[in-house]
Amino acid sequence: MMDAAVRTFGRLGYQAASMDEIAELAGVSKPLVYLYLHSKEDLFTSCIRREARALLAVVAAAVEGEGAAEERLSAGLLAFFTYTAEHPDAWAVLSRQARAQGEPFATEAERMRDEIAGYVGELIGVAAQGPCDAEGLAQALVGAAEAMANWANGPGGTAPRQAAATLMRLVWTGLGTLTAPGGDLSKRPAAP
């Protein structure tokens, strides 16, 4: 039932999806869907939570370990882009549908985003080896990765490995300016 719900919500959106369609796609009766999942809102929340846990597990597995921060960040980006490409309905639920419906759904998606940003922030902090706004940089990188995943998975997009490599080049070049002598951006004058 959950797979059918993710597919339906991902393709049609929360408002357009019906419990009848979800039940039919799952091959069960509509009362059975309600018996286990109570309401459309509960079902959608359950979908967001399940898909967020799955994406977080993939990213966490890729970034954990003893390798260099650059290698771990690159592996995390590749895992993220691969997951979003292989699970387009799940990604649509997490990236567009949950946020578009407002509360309480947006908060569920935001929790996932913040956890991924936490992993990224730790890696940036290790890589920078000096003062930098690791949390702000992590939020920027996560936002860029989300936007790139939406583009990469659409018409004219690109493969996960290419998306990860492109974003990694951009990020690592930028982090290089932060780790170079005099690279602390907080001490530079603001641009006019």
Residue-wise pLDDT tens digits, 60-81:
999 998 888 889 989 999 999 9
Identify whether 11 is part of a domain.
no
Residue 142 reports pLDDT greater than 80 = yes
pLDDT (0 to 100) of residue 185: 41
pTM score of the predicted model: 0.84
- Give the rounded percent of residues in the chain with a pLDDT score beyond 70: 89
Residues 84-94, mean pLDDT to the nearest whole number: 95
Does residue 112 lie within any of the structural domains? yes
Tell whether the model's pLDDT for residue 102 goes beyond 60.
yes
Residue 186 domain flag: no
What SS3 string covers the chain?
Answer: CHHHHHHHHHHHCCCCCCHHHHHHHHCCCHHHHHHHHCCHHHHHHHHHHHHHHHHHHHHHHHHCCCCCHHHHHHHHHHHHHHHHHHCHHHHHHHHHHHHHCCCCHHHHHHHHHHHHHHHHHHHHHHHHCCCCCHHHHHHHHHHHHHHHHHHHCCCCCCCHHHHHHHHHHHHHHHHHHHHCCCCCHHHCCCCC
Reported confidence tier of residue 176, pLDDT bands at 50, 70, 90: low
What pLDDT was estimated at residue 68? 85
| Pairwise pLDDT comparison (42 vs 175), residue with the higher score | 42
> Rounded mean pLDDT of the chain?
85
Structural contact between residues 145 and 55, judged by C-beta atoms closer than 8 angstroms: no
- Considering the domain boundaries, does residue 109 fall inside one? yes
Domain contains 143: yes
Number of domains in the chain: 1
Q: Which range, of 25-29, 82-86, 171-175, averages the lowest pLDDT?
A: 171-175
Domain of 107: which CATH number? Answer: 1.10.357.10
**Predicted confidence (pLDDT) at residue 92 exceeds the cutoff of 70:** yes
Looking at the domain assignment, is residue 108 inside a domain?
A: yes
For residues 2-30, give the mean pLDDT. 89
Q: Which domain holds residue 150?
A: 49-180
Answer whether residue 43 is part of any domain.
Answer: no
Question: What band does 191 get if pLDDT is binned at 50, 70 and 90?
Answer: very low
Q: Is residue 37 situated within a structural domain?
A: no
